[in-house]
């Protein structure tokens, strides 16, 4: 008898446990289900493009040869005009180098002419030794001439002159008398030519056209938008860092008090629908919605915004839709 009561008690506890677990799972499922109503709203479809600030007109001026810095007239942040002299090498050293190169060429030319005189009239019986001496002397003359021309160009280009109006953004050396090389110089940017350099995925190319307005958000200016306009859409694709096929896009900025290299995002409005039926995006799964009775309904969708999607047919305003 005792054994039978134990079996009955075990069965009773098992039944209670089953219903408790089922109710717990049902309550948990109900908590994950939300019901929303189809309502009328404005839907704005946007496209966000990442990129950075760049300049259409910029100049990186560098010396063609090493030497002693003779003067420097600018510093970072200075506004300069086209044709303004910025910095230059010591002209005395450059002139001395040009003179030395010239006399080296004169000497090499004399040696070559001497070698040529020795074989004059012997075009057919010139020995190999004579030919070797003549060619060596002529080659030395050619090299000396190129060295002289290089010295002339170095002197002529010993001064760095601004080729554009702009702002000095970098000066590699700022003390006269220092030795500088071919990596030293001045960088200039025209702030009036700043633009936002970005790219669009090939799948989204048909959504934008030149002239569309864009709002640019930069990481350096949180909470602030900069107005812009799509100035140019490239004609040649390229591969992005992630391996996608993209097309370069240039957004003209209205605010020029920025800095080259600043990162951010450009947002373009690609579509807008006013006072249309909408649902949260997550309510539509594979073109279907679920009503409060659990019925799956096909719907036709339209524009998709950040949180809502346009519903063109299949449901009416006020219908209750389940989101799981």
Q: Give the predicted TM-score (pTM) of the model.
A: 0.63
Spell out the long-range contacts of 300-304 with Cβ–Cβ below 8 A and sequence spacing 24 or more.
Answer: 302/43, 302/273, 302/276, 303/43, 303/44, 303/45, 303/271, 303/272, 303/273, 304/43, 304/45
Q: Give pLDDT, residue 8.
A: 57
The CATH code belonging to domain 48-56+190-270 is 2.40.30.170
What average pLDDT does the chain have? 88
Going by pLDDT thresholds of 50, 70 and 90, the confidence category of residue 29 is: very low
The string of pLDDT tens digits covering residues 127-169 is 888 889 989 999 999 999 999 998 888 888 789 999 999 999 9
The CATH code belonging to domain 58-189 is 2.40.50.100
Distance CA 78, CA 76 (A): 6
Question: Could you tell me the CA-to-CA distances from 103 to 21, 98, 139, 177 in Å, in that order?
Answer: 103, 9, 16, 27
* pLDDT over 70 (residue 243): yes
User: Over the range 54-67, which residues count as b (16 or more CB within 10 Å of their CB) and which as e?
Assistant: bbeebbebebebeb
All structural domains of the chain with their residue ranges = 48-56+190-270, 58-189
Mean pLDDT of all residues in 205-234:
94
* pLDDT over 80 (residue 17): no
């Amino acid at each position: 008898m005792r054994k039978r009561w134990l079996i009955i008690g075990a069965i009773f506890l098992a039944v209670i446990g089953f219903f408790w677990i089922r109710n717990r799972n049902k309550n948990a499922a109900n908590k994950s289900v939300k019901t929303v109503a189809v309502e009328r709203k404005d839907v704005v479809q946007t496209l966000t493009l990442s990129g950075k600030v760049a300049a259409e007109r910029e100049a990186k001026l560098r010396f063609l040869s090493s030497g002693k810095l003779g003067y420097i007239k600018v510093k970072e942040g200075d506004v300069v005009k086209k044709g303004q002299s910025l910095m230059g090498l010591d002209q005395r050293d450059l002139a001395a180098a040009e003179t030395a190169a010239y006399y080296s060429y004169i000497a090499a030319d004399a040696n070559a002419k001497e070698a040529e005189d020795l074989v004059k009239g012997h075009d057919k019986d010139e020995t190999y030794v004579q030919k070797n001496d003549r060619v060596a002397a002529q080659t030395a003359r050619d090299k000396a001439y190129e060295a002289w021309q290089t010295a002339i160009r170095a002197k002529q280009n010993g001064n760095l002159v601004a080729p554009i109006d702009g702002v000095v953004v970098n000066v590699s050396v700022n003390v006269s008398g220092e030795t500088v090389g071919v990596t030293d110089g001045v960088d200039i940017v025209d702030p009036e030519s700043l633009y936002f350099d970005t790219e669009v995925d090939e799948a989204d190319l048909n959504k934008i056209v030149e002239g569309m307005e864009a709002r640019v958000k930069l990481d350096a200016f949180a909470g602030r938008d900069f107005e812009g306009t799509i100035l140019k859409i490239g004609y040649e694709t390229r591969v992005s860092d992630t391996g996608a096929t993209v097309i370069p896009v240039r957004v003209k900025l209205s605010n020029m008090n920025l800095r080259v290299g600043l990162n951010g995002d450009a947002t373009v409005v690609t579509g807008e629908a006013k006072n249309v039926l909408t649902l949260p995006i997550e309510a539509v799964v594979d073109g279907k919605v679920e009503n409060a009775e659990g019925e799956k309904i096909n719907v036709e969708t339209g524009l998709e915004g950040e949180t809502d999607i346009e519903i063109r047919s299949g449901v009416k305003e006020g219908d209750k839709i389940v989101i799981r």
